[in-house]
Chains A and B, each alone.
Chain A
Amino acid sequence: KQEVTQIPAALSVPEGENLVLNCSFTDSAIYNLQWFRQDPGKGLTSLLLIQSSQREQTSGRLNASLDKSSGRSTLYIAASQPGDSATYLCAVHPYNNNDMRFGAGTRLTVKP
């Protein structure tokens, strides 16, 4: 059964720092991996989707990497801003079914 783990559970950094969020999964038979952002009391916003055949995706200051063989993904945020403060969720889409599995999230605080 696919399990998704995110480390750290919480992270606090000063504004301007570059940071890395980690996601690991136990079964490498995945269709894709998706990173989301969730603000308090709000829904999920899709940030990046990496297909199993890809190694990374970039969007603005965000870069997500995928190493399927080792069951790891990272989300790199460059030049962090207070507006980046949110919970970041990693979700794995197993191959051949729609049972998307989520990690517990990393709660990021960027201090001005």
Chain B
Amino acid sequence: DTAVSQTPKYLVTQMGNDKSIKCEQNLGHDTMYWYKQDSKKFLKIMFSYNNKELIINETVPNRFSPKSPDKAHLNLHINSLELGDSAVYFCASSRLGEGEQFFGPGTRLTVL
């Protein structure tokens, strides 16, 4: 009965590789988000999607691309990984207009 789930929980990879993180929510929410939490534990929004439309795109490199096959999924693709991409990535969802966000457990990405 997990509300927001992410896979994998841990991801260790080499610089230059391409990787994806998957996110699914079973709450029937309209909007999904990706956040990055850096080594200082500061959370910053990266993307949000509403009904397959990109609403926000913070100043993230274009190596990062969100892909939403349907309303319940928002996957994060990262090309040409760099050392600075190492962080914990959180997926979240909310009902548009209501705003309360529910977070997934996070994916710890380590780039070597």
Residues of A within 8 A of B (CB): 31-32, 34, 36, 42-46, 49, 87, 89, 91, 93, 97-102, 104-105
The answer on a CB contact under 8 Å between B102 and A46 is: yes
Closest CB of chain B to A75's CB: distance in Å? 16
- CB neighbours (8 Å) of A44 from chain B are 43, 90, 92, 103
Query: Given contacts A46-B100, A46-B101, are A98 and B43 in contact (CB under 8 A)?
Result: no
Closest CB of chain A to B106's CB: distance in Å? 5
**A89's contact among B31, B43, B44, by CB below 8 Å, is which?**
B43
**B41's contact among A45, A93, A101, A104, by CB below 8 Å, is which?**
A104
Q: Within residues 3 to 53 of chain B, which ones have a CB less than 8 A from any CB in chain A? A: 31, 33, 40-45, 48, 50
The answer on a CB contact under 8 Å between B55 and A43 is: no
